[in-house]
Each structure stands twice: as C-alpha cells, then as structure tokens.
C-alpha cells in the first residue's frame, strides 16, 4: 500500500494588469461603482476570496482532516485606532470641506454616504467576533458538511485547539516613505478636501475602517471607502502584504520555523492516523498570523521575486497576497483520503486545493509528502520544542517615481471596487473551491485556520474618537471649505456612516467572522459528505484562549457537525503549551495618518463584504494597490520568502502534519479523521513559505512595485485574508 498526496490551491485565480490605470478623481464615484475593490489583506471578507468549489479525489473516501482556521470577521480593536468620536469628526470635517469650503472631489452620492454614516459598534464588543464572523464560520462549516456529510456527522470524533506568533521589519517603513505613499496621501487629501497633505497614519486609519466595515457587511457600501479609489486600495493592500510578508512570511528567514509546532502536529496527526482510530480530524482555531506562518513553513504562496518596498509595480501577480490567503476566517486544511488502498493527501487553503510542488496536478502520495516533511519541511525544526525566532531585514532606501491620480474617481459609482486589503481582506472575496479527488475516499484532514473577520482596535490607531472626527473633517472640507474631490455620492455615504461599536469590543470576532467559519465548515461537508456521519470525537479541535479564536472554533464546529455548542471544553483551549505556542506578536502602532485611514477602509470592507465603506473613497485603486503591496512586502520578509529563515519556522506544524498523515496511513480504520488548528497569519504565512507555495521568481522589494504588482504570487489579500486556511487531505 502506498499513498499519494493531493494538494490544492485554495485561492481563486487572479488576472491582473501590469500597467496601473490612473483615474480622474473628478469622475470617479465610489457609490456608483458596481464592483468596488474588495481586497483588504487580512481584513478581506472571506467570501470575496474563498474557493467556490470544494474538490476531492475521485474514488476516494475521507479518512482524516487536519485544519487550522483563522477566526471570522471581528469587530474593531484598540490598535485599529477607530474610535466613534474620531471617525465622526473626520466624517464631519470631510462634509464641511465639500459643502462649506468648496474643497474635495467626492461625488454627491459618496458625500451622502458619509453624511448618513454611523459608528457601527460599541465598546462592549471591541475585538469580539462580529455577526459576519459567525456567518463566516457557520457557512464554512456548512460547505464542509455538504462535502463530507457522512464523515462530519460523527461529531464525537473531532478535536479542537489554537496557535499564536510574531515579527516586524523595516522594508515596510521604506515603502511608507516612497513616492507611491506620498502620492496617495496627497491625492486622498485633495479628494477629501484637506488643505494640507494628510499623514499616512491618518490615511491608514481610514483604510482600516473601510476594510473592517466591508468585512462585516460585504454587500454594503462603506462610507469611509469613499476616500479611496481602486488604485489606491491596491497600493494599501500591498502595504499590508508587505507588512505580513516580513512579519510572518518569507521576508524574514526565521519565520519559516515559527510554525514548527503546527507543522510538527500536522505531520504527527497524519502520520499516526489509523483507519480504526476514533479520531478522524483535528481543527485548530487561531489568529491570521498562525495561518501565515504555517503556509510559509510549508512553502506555499512563495514568490521568487521577494516583496520589496520598491517593486510594487512588479508584484501584481504575487503569490503572497493576504487578501486571498489570509482574509478573515482564512483556513488551512489537510485531508487524508483512502483511494483504492492508496493513501493520498490534499492541502486546501481557503477551500481551494493547492497545487503543491513535486506532485502531479497537486495529487501526492503520502509517502512522498512524508519524505518531504522529514527531509525538508521539518529538517530545521527542534524536536519537541517551539521555535520563536526574530530576525529583521535591513532595507535599501530607494523611492519609486511611479505616480497615481484619479481626481474623477467616485467610489460609490465604481461597479467593481477594489476589495483586496491584505490580511484584512474579507474571506468570501478570495476563497477558492474545494473539490473531490475522483476515485478517492477521504482518509484524514489536517487544517490550519485563521480566525474570521474581527474588529480593529487601538493598536492600529483606530480609536472610537479618531474615525468619527475624521469623518466630520472630510465632510466639512467639502461642504464648508469647498475643498476635496469626493463625489457627492461618496460624501452622502460618509454622512450616513455611524460608529456602532465600543472600545471594549476591540479585536473581537464579528458576525461576518462567525459566518466565515460556519460557511467554510459547511463547504467542507459538501465536498466530503462522509463527514455527516462523524461526531466530535472523530476530530481534533484546538484554539487559543483569545476570544476571537474560540468563537471561530465554535462557529466552525457547529457548522461542521451541525451542533449548537456555545462554549469550548477546557482541553480545547491552549494558553501556554510548549508544543503549540509558536511566538508572540510585537505590536506596532503606526503614527502615520494615511496608514490608519487605509486600515479603517480595509476593516470595513472585511466586516461587510460587498459594502461600500465611506472612508475607502479616499483612495484610488492605484492607492489601494500600493498599500496592498506594502502589506505583502512586510509579510514577505517577516513571514515569507524574503528571509531564508522563514522557511524553517513552521517545522513543528509540518511535523505534526506529517505525523498525522503517517498515522492515518498506518491505521486506516482509525476513527480519528481530522485535525483543525485555529490560529493567526503569523502561523499561516511561514507555513506557505516552507511548503514553497506562492513563491515568486523575483523577490518582492521596495523598488520593484511596478514590476511585481501584476505578477507576484505572494499576495496576502488572497492567501492571508481573514479566515484564510490551509487544508491537507489524505485520500485513499
């Protein structure tokens, strides 16, 4: 008996233009854009990027599942810097710019959108899973249930748990100093009616609000997204990718070993699974960085051209795009199948099967994968110990002369707005499609899943006072000082925006985040129908003690097993486990206004996918592409291929994967069919890198944005959105 490993890319294909289209601010109206940009990196709504079809091998039965799931869409957190008062003040100022001062370029519809905006959260739900987050998890579970109905139904044969991680880099800092960011700050300032050029710290806060509102209400128009054009959103999305690339991905060599514990668990679960065992799966719920570091460890979404602060133009087709690989509710799933007495494994990221290197169309025997784990993936991982390494890349200060401009852009009128916000990308905007491997039965599934969409927080400068103030300022710029170039539709959209969460809701999973998880689980059921007959005992579910991860795990479990669990058992929650703990996040608070504006835009897009966040109107599509590239650049060096050590940080994770698949091979009749880990981006990205996924031929750099923008594979909006995930499926 021998086994094949089936690995599939969990991302939808992305076709990008090498050339950046420049828009005229005077004509663009966000409110009229039927397809506004929807990629906000890790704050991307899950449905924006998830695979639309869960595929499995033919003639195979599901044997075991291992999965790492990021929490679903969450509410704002303190670090987001999105306070009700600050946003309201900004809204009022923008309206005043247009209506009193005669400044600003928002269309009437956008201005109305801003006028009607109200803060959507309160302090008690800061950081909590949003309603969309619950929907993320529930729908995820529903899809998995439909795929594996007989398998998932055995609810007592699953296991639940968690993961955590950390990093920082300086390539991102160089990107914020580039002419791309300078141009975006200037153009957004003009668009919103400000006399002086806004600081990047201000802009990124608006971007975060835009992203979070879009993630929580994907189909609605976010008032703060009116600040951005699709071009500006692409730049801001890159900013997030640059951030995660160096913090959790290939950009820093040490990142590849930060997911060693997860990789080791994945290996062990798959290696020791037996057909007669009760355990049929393990699900781990964590943060986005957990998913990112694991993906980096596994070598997934690796770009041959590293993300740099000066190569945004060359990274449009990058693999490391957090909007698609680490949106809210991002997830990694490994499924072991039994295919005519042959063991096979498939990896799924956000429900899309990964075409893993060295395998025939992504189908690999377990014996092949096992050797890769032992000889490559886990080679640098310390046996039985966590790996926490912090190395930062020094960068060259080279500024790009690439220019953007869209004075006519109206966010509300954009029929196809930019929706890629790096790791804040809504999962539904980027997830792929799982599908059954012809002729195979699922043997085991191993999954690493990022929590679903969450709220922002003060760490990101998105305080309850800042965002409302900015809202008022923008409105005042347009209506009183007659400055700014937002269209009327964008201004109206901003006016109607309201800050409706409170500071104590920081970082919590949103309703969209829960939906990310549940929908992912339901899609798993669809592609693996045998899951329906399984119970909780057939799977392993592990999650961190963080509320958003626990709620993501609950939503996913309920969706997968058709249960109505409201709390997790103590043994599912890990607070200080030497095997599972992979590091700590080093919080960095940006002082740049533009960056904060972008952050808010990204969050609102993730909170309400398909919506039109008012603050996003501040950015052109060129702007967003630059920010997106910046995020990819950071992830690339912090967690991805930008640093050689990053490809060794997920040893423990991949060792676990190898062990789980090996066990499944030895014990075919085992009732343990799946392993799911719920974690953060810092775990997913290094795992992708160690697996060699999303690797670009040319490294991402600060000076090759123009070249890499349309080419890079490392694009966090697609591989590290909220609820992004990596799935490995073993088939027979």
Which helix (H) or strand (E) is 267 found in, with range?
helix 260-272
Q: Is 315 helix (H, G, I), strand (E, B) or coil?
A: strand
Model pLDDT, residue 275: 56
Sketch the domain layout of the chain as residue ranges: 3-57+77-731
Distances in Å between the Cα of 550 and the Cα atoms of 163, 197, 566, 677 are 11, 42, 10, 11
Tokens of 621: 């599509």
Q: How confident is the model at residue 316 (pLDDT cuts 50, 70, 90)?
A: confident
Do the Cβ atoms of 531 and 144 come closer than 8 Å?
Answer: yes
Summarize pLDDT for 41-60 with one digit per residue, the tens. Answer: 888 888 888 887 777 777 77
pLDDT reading at 433 higher than 60: yes
How far is Cα 499 from Cα 122, in angstroms, rounded to an integer?
8
Tokens of 561: 């097993």
- pTM strictly above 0.75: no
Model pLDDT, residue 587: 30
Of the two residues 677 and 501, the one the predictor is more confident about is: 677
Do the Cβ atoms of 250 and 693 come closer than 8 Å?
Answer: no
pLDDT reading at 226 higher than 50: yes
pLDDT reading at 154 higher than 60: no
Model pLDDT, residue 308: 93
List strand residue ranges (DSSP E) for 50-150, in order. 60-73, 82-83, 102-103, 117-118
Closest CA to 485 of 602, 593, 619, 596: 619
Neighbours of 123 (CB within 10 A): 17
CA angle 658, 663, 669 (to 5 degrees): 140
Determine the average pLDDT of the residues in 476-482: 85
Q: How confident is the model at residue 579 (pLDDT cuts 50, 70, 90)?
A: very low
Model pLDDT, residue 394: 17
Within 13 A of 568's CA, how many CA atoms are on the CB side?
31
pLDDT reading at 279 higher than 80: no
Cα-flanking dihedrals φ and ψ of residue 363, to 5°? -100, 120
DSSP 580: T
Do the Cβ atoms of 167 and 387 come closer than 8 Å?
Answer: no
Tokens of 187: 């153009």
Q: Which has the minimum average pLDDT: 11-20, 247-256, 601-610?
A: 11-20
Cα-flanking dihedrals φ and ψ of residue 282, to 5°? -135, 130
Q: How confident is the model at residue 174 (pLDDT cuts 50, 70, 90)?
A: very high
Q: Over the range 55-81, which residues count as b (16 or more CB within 10 Å of their CB) and which as e?
A: bbbebbbbbbbbbbbbbbbbbbbbbbb
How far is Cα 261 from Cα 294, in angstroms, rounded to an integer?
9
Closest CA to 263 of 679, 694, 556: 679
Locus of tokens 């050689």: 644
Q: How confident is the model at residue 160 (pLDDT cuts 50, 70, 90)?
A: low
Summarize pLDDT for 510-532 with one digit per residue, the tens. Answer: 888 888 888 888 888 887 777 76
Closest CA to 557 of 138, 83, 129, 107: 138
Model pLDDT, residue 389: 24
Model pLDDT, residue 636: 92
Greatest mean pLDDT range, 158-162, 210-214, 463-467: 210-214
β-bridge partners, 395: none
Locus of tokens 């075991």: 64
Model pLDDT, residue 239: 93
Do the Cβ atoms of 437 and 6 come closer than 8 Å?
Answer: yes
Q: Which has the minimum average pLDDT: 32-36, 550-554, 661-665?
A: 661-665
Within 13 A of 42's CA, how many CA atoms are on the CB side?
40
How far is Cα 708 from Cα 92, in angstroms, rounded to an integer?
38
Model pLDDT, residue 449: 82
Model pLDDT, residue 180: 92
Burial (Cβ within 10 Å: 0-12, 13-18, ≥19) of residue 504:
middle
Q: How confident is the model at residue 179 (pLDDT cuts 50, 70, 90)?
A: very high
% pLDDT > 90, the chain = 11
List strand residue ranges (DSSP E) for 549-682, in order. 573-574, 621, 674-678
% pLDDT > 70, the chain = 82
Do the Cβ atoms of 332 and 687 come closer than 8 Å?
Answer: yes
Model pLDDT, residue 534: 77
Average pLDDT of the chain is 78
Q: Over the range 250-286, which residues count as b (16 or more CB within 10 Å of their CB) and which as e?
A: bbbbbbbbbbbbbbbbbbbbbbbbbbebbbbbbbbbb
Summarize pLDDT for 682-722 with one digit per residue, the tens. Answer: 888 999 999 999 999 989 987 788 788 878 999 988 888 88
Q: How confident is the model at residue 570 (pLDDT cuts 50, 70, 90)?
A: low
Q: Which has the minimum average pLDDT: 104-108, 298-302, 639-643, 670-674?
A: 670-674
Q: Which has the minimum average pLDDT: 336-350, 574-588, 629-643?
A: 574-588
Do the Cβ atoms of 685 and 248 come closer than 8 Å?
Answer: yes
Model pLDDT, residue 696: 93
pLDDT reading at 11 higher than 80: no
pLDDT reading at 153 higher than 80: no
Tokens of 305: 């051209």
Q: How confident is the model at residue 580 (pLDDT cuts 50, 70, 90)?
A: very low
Neighbours of 341 (CB within 10 A): 10
């Amino acid at each position: 008996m021998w086994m094949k490993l089936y690995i599939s890319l969990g991302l939808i294909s992305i076709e990008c233009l090498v050339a950046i289209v420049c828009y005229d601010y005077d004509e663009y109206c966000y409110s009229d854009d039927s397809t506004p940009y929807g990629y906000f990196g890790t704050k991307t709504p899950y449905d924006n990027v998830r695979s639309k079809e869960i595929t499995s091998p033919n003639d195979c039965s599901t044997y075991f599942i291992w999965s790492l799931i990021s929490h679903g869409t969450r509410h704002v957190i303190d670090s987001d810097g999105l306070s009700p008062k600050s946003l309201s003040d900004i809204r009022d100022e923008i309206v005043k710019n247009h209506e009193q001062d005669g400044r600003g370029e928002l269309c009437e519809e956008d201005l109305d959108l801003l006028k009607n905006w109200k803060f959507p959260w309160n302090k008690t739900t800061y950081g909590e899973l949003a309603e969309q987050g619950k929907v993320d998890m529930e729908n995820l579970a529903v899809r998995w249930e439909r795929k594996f109905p007989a398998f998932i139904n055995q609810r007592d044969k699953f296991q639940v748990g968690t993961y955590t991680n950390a990093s920082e880099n300086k390539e991102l800092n160089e990107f914020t100093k580039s002419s791309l960011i300078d141009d975006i700050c200037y153009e957004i300032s003009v668009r919103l009616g400000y006399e002086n050029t806004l600081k990047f710290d201000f802009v990124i806060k608006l971007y975060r609000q835009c992203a979070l509102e879009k993630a929580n209400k994907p189909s609605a128009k976010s008032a703060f997204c009116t600040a951005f054009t699709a071009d500006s959103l692409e730049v801001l999305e890159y900013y997030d990718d640059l951030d995660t690339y160096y913090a959790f991905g290939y950009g820093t060599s040490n990142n590849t070993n930060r997911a060693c514990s997860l990789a080791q668990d994945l290996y062990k679960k798959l290696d020791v699974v037996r057909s007669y065992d009760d355990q049929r799966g393990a699900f781990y719920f964590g943060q986005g960085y957990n998913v990112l570091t694991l993906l980096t460890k596994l070598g997934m979404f690796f770009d041959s051209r590293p993300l740099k602060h000066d190569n945004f133009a060359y990274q449009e087709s990058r693999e490391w795009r957090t909007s698609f690989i680490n949106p809210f509710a991002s997830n990694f799933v490994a499924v072991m199948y039994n295919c005519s007495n042959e063991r096979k494994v498939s990896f799924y990221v956000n429900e899309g099967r990964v075409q893993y290197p060295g395998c025939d169309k992504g189908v690999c025997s377990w014996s092949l994968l096992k050797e890769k784990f032992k000889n490559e993936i886990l080679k640098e991982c310390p046996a039985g110990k966590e790996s926490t390494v912090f190395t930062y890349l020094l960068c060259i200060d080279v500024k790009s002369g690439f220019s953007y401009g869209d004075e006519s852009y109206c966010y509300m009128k954009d029929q196809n707005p930019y929706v890629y916000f790096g790791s804040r990308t809504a999962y539904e905007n980027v997830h792929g499609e799982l599908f059954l491997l012809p002729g195979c039965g699922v043997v085991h599934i191993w999954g690493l899943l990022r929590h679903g969409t969450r709220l922002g927080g003060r760490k990101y400068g998105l305080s309850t006072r800042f965002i409302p103030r900015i809202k008022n300022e923008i409105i005042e710029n347009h209506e009183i000082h007659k400055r700014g170039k937002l269209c009327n539709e964008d201004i109206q959209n901003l006016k109607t925006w309201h800050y409706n969460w409170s500071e104590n809701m920081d970082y919590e999973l949103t309703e969209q985040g829960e939906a990310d998880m549940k929908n992912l689980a339901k899609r798993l059921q669809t592609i693996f129908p045998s899951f329906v007959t399984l119970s909780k005992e057939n799977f392993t579910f592990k999650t961190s003690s963080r509320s958003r991860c626990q709620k993501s795990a609950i939503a996913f479990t309920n969706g997968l097993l058709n249960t109505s669990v409201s709390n997790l058992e103590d043994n599912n929650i890990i607070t200080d486990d030497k095997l599972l703990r992979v590091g700590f996040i080093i919080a960095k608070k940006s002082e740049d206004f533009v960056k904060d504006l972008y952050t808010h835009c990204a969050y609102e897009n993730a909170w309400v996918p398909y919506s039109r966040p008012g603050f996003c109107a501040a950015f052109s599509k060129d702007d967003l592409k630059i920010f997106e590239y910046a995020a990819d650049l950071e992830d690339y060096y912090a967690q991805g291929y930008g640093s050689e050590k990053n490809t060794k940080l997920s040893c423990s994770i991949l060792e676990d994967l190898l062990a789980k698949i090996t066990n499944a091979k030895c014990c075919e009749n085992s009732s343990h069919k799946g392993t799911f880990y719920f974690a953060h981006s810092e775990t997913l990205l290094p795992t992708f890198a160690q697996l060699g996924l999303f690797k670009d031929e040319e490294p991402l750099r600060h000076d090759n944005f123009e070249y890499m923008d349309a080419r890079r594979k490392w694009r966090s909006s697609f591989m590290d959105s909220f609820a992004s995930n990596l799935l490995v499926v073993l088939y027979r």
